[in-house]
Structure 1
Amino acid sequence: MNIKPFIFYSVIASTTLLYGCGGTEQTTDSSTEQSTDSSSTITSTGLVINEIVASPSDTTYDWIELYATEDIADLSVFSLVDDNADREPQALPAVSLSQGEFIVIQAIDETDTPPDNGYYVTFKLGSDDAVTLYEDGTAISVLDWEEGEAAEGFSYGLYTDGTGTAQTLTPTEGAANQTADTSTLVTTLIAEDAPLRINEVLAKDSSGGEDWIELYVTSSSDVYLADYTLSDDNNEQFALPDITLSPGEFYRIYASTDDLGDLPSVAFKLGSSDTVSLYSNNVIIEQLSWNKGQALSGYSYGRYPDGSDATAVLTPTELSSNSQATHGPLVINEIVASAADDGNDWFELYNNSANTINLANYQVIDESDDIDPVTLPDIDLYAGEYITIYATDEDPGTYYVPFKLGKEDELSLILNDEVIDYIDWDESDVATGFSYGLSSNTGFTHAFLTPTPSSENTVATAFTPTAVNTLSITITDENWQDILDNPLDEEYHETAITFNGVTLDSVAIRTKGGSSLSSVANSSSDRYSFKVDINEYVSGQKFFGLKKFTLQNSFNDPSYMREVIAYELMDEMGVPTPEHAYVNFYVNGELFGLYLMVEAVDGEFVEKHFTNSNGDLYKPDGTGSDLLWLGDDIQSYTDINLQTNEDTTDNGAFINFVESLDKGETSAIEVDTLLRYMSVSTSLSNLDSYHGPLAHNYYIYDDDGVFSILPWDFNESFGTFNMDCNNVDVRELYIDEPVSGALSERPLIANVFAEQSNLDTYHSYLTQLINGSLSSDTFNARVNEIADLIREHVQNDPTSFYGSTYFEQNLTSTTGQFYGLTSFMQYRVANMVAQIDGTLPSAGDGSGFCAR
């Protein structure tokens, strides 16, 4: 093979990309697949994708092996890409390959250090992924695998080389493929209805005893324990005892490498940061993971309440119901590692107890600096009192320790040689002028803060509803022009962002949207909505606690405030709602437009609003988004767009959910949240939603098998969206049948509204809105208040769709196809009052409002 080793830098090939159709927003990194089946598709001879490793056990990189079925003079006419629709194919090196020879391409992250030799592409391979090979822009080979087919220690590819069937293999990098003994293949598929759960772990016994793992039977029938095995994150499985447990029973397994005689045990210890997995026939059906600081001496970690998805730091309660722990008595409350004006670093301690604490009994250590623990000052800290201690190598004339805090660092609090509290942080957590610490003095959750030495912590937010802030990006001209020239690609490009004195490099930005994106792309405007991903290139990086946010362009909204008002009403009604605020968006120093910055509905959002942050989050948009029963195969629901737990969930909660809806049940619905959501969405005649023709622009979240609906994208509320409703006045939308089509085709609403008690509660929420925020005086005042806030910025908006004249008109009056805000609400409130008191019908015959 005529190849000399060299570093293969990613070259963007001039090739045709394969994209999904339908105009929906790409909500996850792998939302568009090249193939729906696990297979290899070969459309021509010459070069094929022969084998991949997506979870290496003996190397540091994923890899893709290509195989030549005939002589190849120049590989540079070929290119590779994974199933990320935002990514373009990357060209292969200009080398030759003889028939029967292999070439291995390493698959690395864009931020990884390139290999010293060999060839690589800048994308990693997922556990459920696909790789496509192009020749001169035409796809000629696809290798597609699903969860479990390319697990750690295995590869996936063709047997035999070049022409065989795609299957799980033994890795043979650069050599002939070999079949695998799949009896040892381990897959991870967390079972929604697992009969046995890992309920609690003790990783550091305060009295020096053994680590232990508590199991809990959640099923309604007996569980034979010997059918299961356990491992820690070293993945070696250990058999469980030959006993049967009853429903609701607890059982303790010690975790120790010592011989414990007849005590039930597994031969591993638990680490300060670890994962315990429960297996059934080599499938991981249940896991419990914790990070350093969650299972310290004196604490355990597990599920609260017992057997649920929700996890918490606990007070150890082996063989009995779990109990949430109180943080303390002494806690690390706040740290500053990049003080404004080059001031000293500091950390703050808080006495979360009813007793006085003498600090001389405690030590602190900055473990990343390889220094000895430092004893704290010999002073008394009274109950509820704070103390600020500086971290500096020069005496500041007050309490201090002789070390500094790094931009990426950790700090431990020690009592009697045991770590009793711990905090660690990344560089983005400690931006200059900000602090990092507990979001509440008594909890265990950390947040991005505004510095408050020796007083209660204050969470710093990017969202200030009473101001119009400035958000700036600095991006190469080439990258920005590519975004504007190819908006439908929705491809991420690297940029830096600056907001409220915080600047982050290596942030990703792309266009976003569905029909609105297509509409703008087909117009003369470049005013797209954008998605900003903070940790696309830098893992763990956050921005004011956010991993993602969007910039909404006010498409189809001359008032700029339809979405703002809708979100305010959702929040007022107690629905978990994205934070939002206006920003002037600057690109390379030039004002691009007045935008609405909106928090993403993602894992961070879930953590903030739900005690249980471990559930499945979906953004349905297409097949399955109406939540009608399509059977128990999750593959039938192709457009439900899972946002969390992508690599582990069995989607069992979702299947149970739609099955219960099909039976007319409401047990899997968070009914009150739905009623509150519908009171707002119905009041605003918002048919660009679940109850409209497209059944989209909403999220659902699984909280231990009960699903909550979450709001998203209200720019076409206030009657703007009238698809399939051209012959009716959407201001008269039925309140009890607020659907565009058949009510039975929206079972989430139909099931809940079928119960009169639910309708009564729903009517009370509508009445609350009618007499409160939607009453004429209150609503008009709010519209004017927002208008006063943004008027000057609308006038200065260089890319506005409608201009300031339309803005002023649309506050009160219909402008083109857009109802005036105050006139719409006056009409709508009168109509709803008449429906509630029975003067007008509140429902039809079940065929939907738009069919009347």
Structure 2
Amino acid sequence: MMKKQNHLWITAIIASTILTACGGGDSSNETVVEDPDTTLPVTSQLLINEIVADAEDGGNDWIELYALEGPVSLASYTIVDDNTERTPQALPDVTLAQGEFIVIQAIDEEDTPPDSGYYVTFKLGSDDAVTLFKDGVQSDTLDWEEGDAQQGSSYGLYTDGTGTAQTLSPTPGEANQPSTADITYDLIINENAPIRINEIVAKNSESEHDWVELYVTGNYSVNLSDYQIADENNELVTLPDITLAPGEYYRLYATTDVIENTQTIAFKLGSSDQVSLYQDDDLVDQLSWKKGQALIGYSYGRFPDGSDGTFVLTPSPQSTNTKALHGPIVINEVVANDENGGYDWFELYNNSAQQISLASYQVIDGSDDIEPVTLPDVELAPGDYIVIFASDEQLTQHYVPFKLGNNDELSIMLNGEVVDYIDWDSSDVNTGYSYGLSAANSSDNSWHKDFLTPTQGTANELATAFEPNVVKNLYIDISDENWQSILASPLDEEYHQASITFEGVTLDSVAIRTKGGSSLRAVSQSNSDRYSFKIDINEYVDGQKFFGLKKFTLQNSYNDPSYMREVIAYDLMKDLGIAAPDHAYVNVYINNKLFGFYLMVEVIDSEFIENYFDNTNGDLYKPDGTGSDLQWISADIADYTGINQQNNEETTDNGAFINFIAEMDAGSESVIDVDSLLRYMSVSVSLSNLDSYHGTLAHNYYIYEQDGIFTFLPWDLNESFGTFSMGCRSDIRGLYIDEPTSGAMSERPMVANVFSNQDHLNTYHDYLWQLIEGPLADDAFAQRVNTIAALIDEHVANDPSAFYGYSSFIQNLDNSVDKFYGLTSFMTYRVNNMRQQLNGSLPSSGTGQGYCR
């Protein structure tokens, strides 16, 4: 530890327990203190309550003392750190009442003294101690070790004057608070949280104060004083002693002002911020928002009240939340890199029933040196668009005198307030593409933004990587070193850096790795390098996207001579209204050489959830391994090692999942999105798809939770059409429709619970008939196969790394190739078999032990 110089100057700041500051003092009086007698500790009215040894933002260290009893005169006290060569320094002649604090800054002798207040001339170390003496006799010591008082934290007593010494959140001159760094997230089960942060206003159009609304979600009353609240700075504020009944709302104004007869919390809300609700050391609830989600005139919060789903809202203090319509004027579309080298532009849209005078509005981009620019003097009719060019040249069209950057933002302002906002990254505005609202005139989707095809003055058009009726080229450029590393150790599934080019879009820094389970192992043991791959777009560049995607996969058609099992299966899922990944065929080039003909598939992740679900805040899992059968093991999430959580890792307690398993173990279906499961099962069972949840391995699926209800999502269907028969000696084309499991139905509770309800089983049978008499009927199915075959025929013929070859492709469309059933012959057999099961001429279930047993 650095040696500290002796000095006898001190200053201090006094603050009372009601958080008001006073004091200052004359630092010109030097007091010499004799060496103290440290042999007889005495009981003191004055205690060392808190220290900061590594102040943030270049501030001074400090020591806080607390009057446990009072009044107490500090004139009889001295203080020193653990440097045995240092003489204790005298405290000022100040008297503290009981419960008052004094804060003493700790500086080096060479430092410039603070402008006001009291100070000592020794700094505090990361492993140090401070000792207090009364009349030369040791009366109190606070000792800390390395790591106890890191930057951003303090160390002291909790609670003040009497509690245990521990790491704290710094509160100079105020009541000590536990360290937010030590908060344990979500120890309270989410769906059982008794109170939630329901709505916030960060820019109030009716008054000067922001506000936070709480809502009691449980079935019993809640006393707010049991909770603390904090914004993004994590300074905890205890809530008032008020009891709320179930279903009751309560509004707290977020302001540092004192408002008579009104409860406040001593912080303001930012345009991008977060509010957290704690009970002791448990994070009970959290609500965060980004810039543009809580503009003036809007609120942000939960819909329906108390749910997980969050939306832009119409402010409704202490009443039911309602979604807000985006408008009246919205930034609809931006182009920052015109395909033909033309001017940048942005498009505005009148999403209201009233005419808008644009001259009342101003626009500004993200540059610090540009002042707001008044929009053209144009009357914009309801439902009309206007395109405004952005150029540093003077134009004859409507324009603003600035260009749009690749990483930029636009704000529309009215009377000095931002009324609409959009921002983007460079990958959102690639040359030849635009970025903007997915549906400007839709009250449900008008806040969601997408990667677009430019459409000046007309409705926005999504630009997608997945065009099912076209085969495109995907170029991957990767260093020889990285490529050889992937091929040398494919089972490691380690990411390596590469660049990709697709439809004029080039991204220079993406991640690529092999993917798969048994198929990956099988290929690694063969003479082929034709692996399936996963591409992660933002592994190296935060926020980067590819046609709106964060990730996608390249499927190698392993165990599929037809190249289309997975395509047809996903298409049937979509036909039946199931949320399923988008997909399209691509020729994959590695370093400009054709490597193989692949299927590009959208990954089920946060972007997928945003596209298919209103509530985007639920927990997403990809089960594979222990716990993937969804049978009860215990209430400890650590015992479910194979559930593979995909999001919310830092904030969820997995309580919804544990409740899901517990409810199913009790025979309940209340936690299951029944209709999505019935639709999925009708397709999967029709295709005898046992490489799935209802098969031996209980994998190749996702489940997504919304307010405790779990939706089943399909994944990895390349071994459908009876290809996967592990553990099944029976003819898989005869799979029971009502007992479609490899093993006992009870081992697959998600299916067993739903199928045990006759009404659900009837609905499921209706879906099977819908398939049998529709897309799986002989003529319709054969037409589907032939259409896909015509699309991919020449690309299969030219595939340099094919597993099976062109002749096997042609043969497998109708007839078996080795163990792989022909598509049309399989479907004819299977449809006839299901029809007989539905009519009762063949059994649709067995003894409960599953079809394969």
Q: TM-score range by the shorter chain?
A: 0.7 to 0.9
The residue aligned with 1:261 is 260
The residue aligned with 2:184 is 187
- The answer to whether structure 1 residue 737 and structure 2 residue 736 are counterparts is no
- Asked whether the equivalents of residues 185 and 651 of structure 2 are also in contact (C-alpha less than 8 Å), the reply is yes
Deviations 1:688-716 (A, max 9, x none): 00000000000000011100000000000
The residue aligned with 1:503 is 506
Matches within 5 A, 1:617-636: 617-636=620-639
Q: 2 CA distance for matches of 1:241 and 1:831?
A: 67
The residue aligned with 2:77 is none
- The answer to whether structure 1 residue 648 and structure 2 residue 651 are counterparts is yes
Q: 2 CA distance for matches of 1:382 and 1:356?
A: 5
Residue 793 of structure 2 aligns to a residue whose secondary structure is helix
Letter in 2 for 1:239: T
The residue aligned with 2:822 is 820
Residue 409 of structure 2 aligns to a residue whose secondary structure is strand
The residue aligned with 1:769 is 771
Q: 2 CA distance for matches of 1:733 and 1:534?
A: 40
- List, as ranges, runs of 4+ consecutive aligned residues in structure 1 with deviation greater than 4 Å: 56-60, 177-180
**Which sits farther off after the overlay, 671-680 or 201-210?**
201-210
The residue aligned with 2:785 is 783
- Asked whether the equivalents of residues 660 and 666 of structure 1 are also in contact (C-alpha less than 8 Å), the reply is yes
Letter in 2 for 1:841: P
Matches within 5 A, 1:799-810: 799-810=801-812
- Asked whether the equivalents of residues 222 and 244 of structure 2 are also in contact (C-alpha less than 8 Å), the reply is yes
Residue 852 of structure 2 aligns to a residue whose secondary structure is helix
Deviations 1:198-222 (A, max 9, x none): 0000000113431000000000011
Q: In the superposition, relative to structure 1, how do residues 168 and 466 fare at CA in structure 2: closer, same or farther (>3 Å)?
A: farther
Q: In the superposition, relative to structure 1, how do residues 57 and 631 fare at CA in structure 2: closer, same or farther (>3 Å)?
A: farther
Percent sequence identity is: 63
Matches within 5 A, 1:245-256: 245-256=244-255
Q: 2 CA distance for matches of 1:367 and 1:548?
A: 28
User: Among residues 159, 164, 170, which one is paired with 2:148 in the alignment?
Assistant: 170
Deviations 1:315-369 (A, max 9, x none): 1000000011111111110000111121100000001111111110000001324
Q: In the superposition, relative to structure 1, how do residues 253 and 593 fare at CA in structure 2: closer, same or farther (>3 Å)?
A: same
Matches within 5 A, 1:95-110: none
- The answer to whether structure 1 residue 528 and structure 2 residue 531 are counterparts is yes
Residue 302 of structure 1 aligns to a residue whose secondary structure is strand
The residue aligned with 1:96 is none
Matches within 5 A, 1:326-405: 326-405=325-404
Letter in 1 for 2:461: T
Matches within 5 A, 1:533-552: 533-552=536-555
Residue 284 of structure 1 aligns to a residue whose secondary structure is strand
Deviations 1:581-605 (A, max 9, x none): 0000000000000000000000110
Q: Give 1:172 shift.
A: 6.8
Residue 849 of structure 1 aligns to a residue whose secondary structure is coil
Letter in 2 for 1:552: Q
User: Among residues 658, 663, 668, which one is paired with 2:661 in the alignment?
Assistant: 658
- Asked whether the equivalents of residues 169 and 180 of structure 1 are also in contact (C-alpha less than 8 Å), the reply is no
How many pairs are equivalent?
688
User: Among residues 833, 837, 842, which one is paired with 1:835 in the alignment?
Assistant: 837
- Asked whether the equivalents of residues 222 and 243 of structure 2 are also in contact (C-alpha less than 8 Å), the reply is yes
Residue 440 of structure 1 aligns to a residue whose secondary structure is coil
Q: Give 1:171 shift.
A: 6.2
Q: In the superposition, relative to structure 1, how do residues 59 and 501 fare at CA in structure 2: closer, same or farther (>3 Å)?
A: farther
- Asked whether the equivalents of residues 581 and 604 of structure 2 are also in contact (C-alpha less than 8 Å), the reply is yes
Q: Give 1:631 shift.
A: 1.4
Letter in 2 for 1:390: F
Q: 1 CA distance for matches of 2:166 and 2:799?
A: 62
Q: 2 CA distance for matches of 1:593 and 1:387?
A: 45
Deviations 1:397-418 (A, max 9, x none): 2100000000000100000111
User: Among residues 652, 669, 682, which one is paired with 1:679 in the alignment?
Assistant: 682
Letter in 2 for 1:676: R
- The answer to whether structure 1 residue 705 and structure 2 residue 683 are counterparts is no
The residue aligned with 1:614 is 617
Q: 2 CA distance for matches of 1:538 and 1:509?
A: 13
Q: Give 1:58 shift.
A: 5.7
- Asked whether the equivalents of residues 185 and 283 of structure 2 are also in contact (C-alpha less than 8 Å), the reply is yes
- Asked whether the equivalents of residues 585 and 594 of structure 1 are also in contact (C-alpha less than 8 Å), the reply is yes
Q: Give 1:57 shift.
A: 10
- Asked whether the equivalents of residues 191 and 286 of structure 1 are also in contact (C-alpha less than 8 Å), the reply is no
Q: 1 CA distance for matches of 2:277 and 2:427?
A: 35
The residue aligned with 1:591 is 594
| TM-score, length basis structure 2 | 0.79
Letter in 2 for 1:355: Q
- Asked whether the equivalents of residues 230 and 238 of structure 1 are also in contact (C-alpha less than 8 Å), the reply is yes
Q: Give 1:436 shift.
A: 0.4
Deviations 1:654-698 (A, max 9, x none): 011000100111000000000000000000000000000000000
Q: 1 CA distance for matches of 2:736 and 2:296?
A: 59
Unmatched runs of 5 consecutive residues or more in structure 1 = 1-55, 61-153, 156-166
Q: 2 CA distance for matches of 1:310 and 1:203?
A: 19
Letter in 2 for 1:813: N
Q: Give 1:243 shift.
A: 1.0
Q: In the superposition, relative to structure 1, how do residues 467 and 630 fare at CA in structure 2: closer, same or farther (>3 Å)?
A: same
Residue 799 of structure 1 aligns to a residue whose secondary structure is coil
- The answer to whether structure 1 residue 553 and structure 2 residue 531 are counterparts is no
Q: 2 CA distance for matches of 1:226 and 1:207?
A: 28
- Asked whether the equivalents of residues 413 and 420 of structure 2 are also in contact (C-alpha less than 8 Å), the reply is yes
Q: 1 CA distance for matches of 2:573 and 2:681?
A: 9
Q: Give 1:370 shift.
A: 2.3
Residue 342 of structure 1 aligns to a residue whose secondary structure is coil
Q: 1 CA distance for matches of 2:762 and 2:55?
A: 59
Q: Give 1:168 shift.
A: 11
Matches within 5 A, 1:166-245: 169-170=147-148, 181=167, 184=179, 185-189=182-186, 191-192=189-190, 193-245=192-244
Unmatched runs of 5 consecutive residues or more in structure 2 = 1-53, 59-125, 128-144, 157-164, 169-177
The residue aligned with 1:33 is none
Matches within 5 A, 1:473-512: 473-512=476-515
- Asked whether the equivalents of residues 498 and 504 of structure 1 are also in contact (C-alpha less than 8 Å), the reply is yes
- Asked whether the equivalents of residues 277 and 287 of structure 1 are also in contact (C-alpha less than 8 Å), the reply is yes
Q: Give 1:180 shift.
A: 5.2
Q: 2 CA distance for matches of 1:686 and 1:357?
A: 56
| TM-score, length basis structure 1 | 0.79
Q: 1 CA distance for matches of 2:55 and 2:700?
A: 41
Q: 2 CA distance for matches of 1:581 and 1:807?
A: 18
Letter in 1 for 2:237: F
- Asked whether the equivalents of residues 149 and 167 of structure 2 are also in contact (C-alpha less than 8 Å), the reply is no
Q: 1 CA distance for matches of 2:260 and 2:589?
A: 68
Residue 367 of structure 2 aligns to a residue whose secondary structure is helix
Q: 2 CA distance for matches of 1:226 and 1:461?
A: 51
- Asked whether the equivalents of residues 676 and 765 of structure 1 are also in contact (C-alpha less than 8 Å), the reply is yes
Q: Give 1:468 shift.
A: 0.6
The residue aligned with 1:290 is 289
The residue aligned with 1:434 is 433
The residue aligned with 1:28 is none
Deviations 1:796-821 (A, max 9, x none): 00000000011011000011010000
Q: Give 1:379 shift.
A: 1.2
Q: Give 1:191 shift.
A: 3.8
Q: 1 CA distance for matches of 2:320 and 2:286?
A: 19
User: Among residues 624, 635, 640, which one is paired with 1:637 in the alignment?
Assistant: 640
**RMSD of Structure 2 on Structure 1 (CA):** 1.9
Residue 473 of structure 2 aligns to a residue whose secondary structure is strand
Q: 1 CA distance for matches of 2:438 and 2:55?
A: 38
- Asked whether the equivalents of residues 168 and 180 of structure 1 are also in contact (C-alpha less than 8 Å), the reply is no
User: Among residues 690, 694, 699, which one is paired with 2:693 in the alignment?
Assistant: 690
- Asked whether the equivalents of residues 279 and 285 of structure 1 are also in contact (C-alpha less than 8 Å), the reply is yes
The residue aligned with 2:123 is none
Q: 1 CA distance for matches of 2:839 and 2:690?
A: 24
Q: 1 CA distance for matches of 2:167 and 2:545?
A: 42
- Asked whether the equivalents of residues 685 and 735 of structure 2 are also in contact (C-alpha less than 8 Å), the reply is yes
Q: Give 1:396 shift.
A: 2.7
